[in-house]
Amino acid sequence: MNAMQERTKAAMLAAGRGVVVSVASLVGSITLFVWTVLSIVFIVLGIGLVTTPYVLELVRKHANRRRLLAVTWSDIRIPVPYRPFPKDLRTGFTGQVERTTLMLKDPATWRDIRWLLVDMTAGYVVATLAAALLIYPLEGLVLAAGLWRVFTDDRYWYGFVPVDSQATGLAAAALGAALFATGVLVSERLLRLHFVIARAMLAPTQKEELVRRIDRLTETRHEAVDTAASELRRIERDLHDGAQARLVAMGMNLGTVEALIEKDPAQAKKLLAMARESSAEALTELRDLVRGIHPPVLAERGLGDAVRALALRLPFESEVDAELGGRMDAAVESAAYFAVSETLTNAAKHSGADRVRVDIHHENSALRISVTDNGRGGARVGSGSGLSGIERRLGTFDGIMAVSSPAGGPTMVTMEIPCELS
């Protein structure tokens, strides 16, 4: 009985979602398709050079919204394969012309346009059917309850049942019950079918996806080389300004001690004490430097315990849920650790949060990490930001990052790195 109730609730939820998607398919897709066609046609008149980028941007937002619903409601992931614009893109009318050209050369743009056509037809029908199978039966019950009397002089058709009496009203109710039972069984599947159709139209081909990944890996390789060079310079600077300077000073003090040990033993003892303090400080700095390269707790106990140790040092309440059935490659562990560390540092410095939660788990050959805080929100991935650095770090391993941070919060940073556990 409980299983049937849960199944019915899930089907009703799918029906409600089907209404949302069908309205978006009918109104949004038709409107955007008409605007897109007119805008592209008007390029020959010059007007389309200005309007096309804005219209296509709306189409992309519409498609991305469907991608989000697909993964949220049916766990169907649809890649976002749009080519990025160059950083030196010009402004003004010339920039608009260049933007229009780049967007029209992007194969993803034409997939979006084809998807609009399919979404307003097959996609709309499937989503509407998912909702109608659970909503339309209500009319049969109302007819059987007495509404049939309105149609005694003019026969009314409910499906294939002509309703003009109590008997035919009960037949309509029986048909409605059969439709409802069918809807309970298939509404979730129909909603999923809608998103499967969207994936078939929006997802890049295998060849395009391979080219995109090669370009992405080439870009992240250059970024990784630059990051490694920058990190090496930082280590050299820290050694030169910190531990090395202290060791040099300690050596000079010891040389002075040798000269004073017989002439002025008291002063020699002071210098020895200073040398001992310098050696302790140098050792501490070296330990901190090594911890910044690869924390010992990460090497000894793994990612979960290393992140818990990080969370304990935060100035607010934290919770870490790590479920890992093994260890991953050291390079992946290190990248994940420092990505979480940077995210937590950003939360502590900028979010104004008083609570953060970290979820770490491995499924479907991928490490998935989410960091959620209850701060003020408004976090964005931009040039020079800490989040951009995290994205570059993950990109080295073909990983991805998504940020959800509406104004007022909460902020959720989700990271995913393909890897296997050992």
Please tell me the predicted confidence (pLDDT) of residue 283: 67
In the structure, what pLDDT confidence band is assigned to residue 123 with cuts at 50, 70 and 90? very high
222: its two tokens: 């250059």
Q: Are the CB atoms for 156 and 163 separated by under 8 Å?
A: yes
Residue located via tokens 């990460």 = 298
Query: Which is higher by pLDDT, 334 or 287?
Result: 334
216: its two tokens: 């992405």
**Are residues 391 and 366 located together in one domain of the fold?**
yes
In the structure, what pLDDT confidence band is assigned to residue 133 with cuts at 50, 70 and 90? confident
CATH number for the domain that contains residue 364: 3.30.565.10
User: What is the percent of the chain with per-residue pLDDT over 70, rounded to a whole number?
Assistant: 79
Domain end among 158, 187, 202: 202
**Are residues 266 and 385 located together in one domain of the fold?**
no
CA distances from 381 to 262, 335, 345, 405, 420 (A): 64, 18, 15, 10, 28
Domain-located, residue 76: yes
Q: Write the DSSP assignment of 54-95 as a string of letters.
A: HHHHHHHHHHHHHHHHHHHHH-------PPPPPTT---HHHH
Instruction: Answer whether residue 121 shows pLDDT above 90.
Output: yes
**Are residues 378 and 240 located together in one domain of the fold?**
no
Tens-place pLDDT, residues 75-107: 888 888 887 777 766 676 677 788 888 888 888
Q: Which amino acid is at 340?
A: V
Domain-located, residue 347: yes
Would you tell me how many other CB atoms lie within 10 Å of the CB of residue 210?
11
**Are residues 138 and 194 located together in one domain of the fold?**
yes
Domain-located, residue 221: no
Q: Which amino acid is at 374?
A: N
Domain-located, residue 207: no
Tens-place pLDDT, residues 215-252: 666 666 665 555 555 656 656 665 655 566 666 666 77
CA distance 360 to 415: 10
Query: If DSSP codes are grouped into helix, strand and coil, which group holds residue 318?
Result: strand
Domain-located, residue 215: no
Domain-located, residue 211: no
CA distance 387 to 213: 21
- Signed CA dihedral, 149, 150, 154, 155: sign only: negative
Largest Cα span, the chain: 128
87 φ, ψ (degrees, to nearest 5): -70, -25
Please tell me the predicted confidence (pLDDT) of residue 318: 84
Query: If DSSP codes are grouped into helix, strand and coil, which group holds residue 183?
Result: helix
Please tell me the predicted confidence (pLDDT) of residue 126: 93
**Are residues 284 and 310 located together in one domain of the fold?**
no
Tens-place pLDDT, residues 181-194: 888 888 899 999 99
**Are residues 188 and 49 located together in one domain of the fold?**
yes
Please tell me the predicted confidence (pLDDT) of residue 192: 93
**Are residues 134 and 269 located together in one domain of the fold?**
no
**Are residues 339 and 250 located together in one domain of the fold?**
no
Instruction: Answer whether residue 262 shows pLDDT above 80.
Output: no
Kindly give the pairing relationship between strand 366-373 and strand 355-363: antiparallel
Please tell me the predicted confidence (pLDDT) of residue 352: 79
Classify each residue of 277-306 as buried b or exposed e, where b means 16 or more C-beta atoms within 10 Å of its C-beta.
Answer: ebeeebeebbeeeeeeeebebbeeebbbeb
Q: Which of 148, 162, 31, 44 is nearest to 100 (CA)?
A: 44
Low-confidence winner among 278-292, 324-338, 406-420 (lowest mean pLDDT): 278-292
Beta-sheet strand order (sheet of 366-373)? 317-323, 355-363, 366-373, 411-418, 400-404
Count structural domains, the chain: 3
**Are residues 331 and 247 located together in one domain of the fold?**
no
Instruction: Answer whether residue 392 shows pLDDT above 70.
Output: yes
Q: Which residues pair with 323 in a beta bridge?
A: 361
Is there a cis peptide before residue 410, judged by omega within 30 degrees of 0? yes
Number of H helices, E strands in the chain: 15, 7
CA distance 140 to 151: 13
Q: Write the DSSP assignment of 343-360 as a string of letters.
A: HHHHIIIII--SEEEEEE
Query: If DSSP codes are grouped into helix, strand and coil, which group holds residue 400?
Result: strand
pTM of the model: 0.58
Domain end among 236, 265, 293: 293
Instruction: Report angle CA 283, 289, 295 to the nearest 5 degrees.
Output: 110
**Domain extent for 235:** 228-293
Tens-place pLDDT, residues 303-345: 888 888 878 888 888 888 888 888 888 778 888 888 888 888 8
Sequence-distant (6+) residues with CB within 8 A of 159 are 172, 175, 179
CA distance 6 to 118: 32
**Are residues 250 and 186 located together in one domain of the fold?**
no
Tens-place pLDDT, residues 31-71: 999 999 999 999 888 888 888 999 999 999 999 999 988 88
Domain end among 155, 187, 202: 202
First to last CA, the chain: 42
Length of the chain counted residue by residue:
422
Long-range contacts of 205-209 (CB under 8 A, 24+ apart): 208/81, 208/107, 209/79, 209/81
Domain-located, residue 216: no
**Are residues 245 and 394 located together in one domain of the fold?**
no
**Are residues 248 and 141 located together in one domain of the fold?**
no
Domain-located, residue 120: yes
